[in-house]
Amino acid sequence: MVSFSLDNKIALITGASYGIGFAIAKGFAQAGAKIVFNDLNQDLVNKGIESYKQLGIDAVGYVCDVTVEEQVKEMVSKIEKEIGDINILVNNAGIIKRIPMTEMMSEDFRKVIDVDLTAPFIVSKIVIPSMIRNGGGKIINICSMMSELGRETVSAYAAAKGGLKMLTRNIASEYGEYNIQCNGIGPGYIATPQTAPLRTEGHPFNSFIISKTPAARWGTPDDLIGPAVFLASSASDFVNGHVLYVDGGILAYIGKQPK
């Protein structure tokens, strides 16, 4: 029988105080997992814990910069001692800097690469040994449509998310024999507080996204819960190195013909 249960599993979701990571963590908790998350400072961690409490979720938060290997080692060690070994890892923490390429400083480019690509490498490499010892595990990388497409002002983000797609495939290739499945989720355009200014009626970008999406709407963070639970559960034990695009059909669609 196919099981989507996450009972007795410990899930680390990076940067999950709010937004997409929070929604995925909420879905994991509903499926039975123990939720652990991190953020950059104690205020964000406290806000995240309070948000989880309001939903009846007993999440545990840690302050950690996932771009700093020593901090990640310390966090994972604490999780293993205080809660247990991590069975599910979601590399969710990320940033974007929308700057035309010729105007972007190299340090800004490196910062995006560091958070969106190097950090998933660091956290994964530190978690994988315990997954091997325990006979398997699940790693989910939050990729993007920019893992496949380019558009103006997001050169660093597209480079990082394209790299994350290939890191996903390589982890699957290198550690699949240990019953570790590493897959990605590629969200489409999601309705979050950050995109609220773009989603006002009459805004050209809002009209553009709706016209390019067969579903004719923006996605919601909750649209990602089902795919994430699937990839975290035993239902996906023979799915490895795949990026599941949750985009309302954008990548399959050339767009409407102008009238």
Which of 52, 62, 157, 175 is the catalytic position? 157
Query: What is the 3 state secondary structure string of 38-85?
Result: EECCHHHHHHHHHHHHHCCCCCEEEECCCCCHHHHHHHHHHHHHHCCC
Provide the pairing of β-strand 34-39 with 137-142: unpaired
Q: Distance between CA 49 and CA 43 in Å, rounded?
A: 10
Contacts of 40 (CB under 8 A, 6+ apart): 63, 64, 65
Long-range (24+ apart) CB contacts under 8 A made by 169-176 are: 169/241, 171/124, 171/128, 171/139, 171/241, 172/240, 172/241, 173/241, 175/128, 175/131, 175/132, 176/240, 176/241
189 is catalytic: no
Cβ-based burial of 3 (10 A; exposed 0-12, middle 13-18, buried ≥19): exposed
Residues involved in catalysis: 157
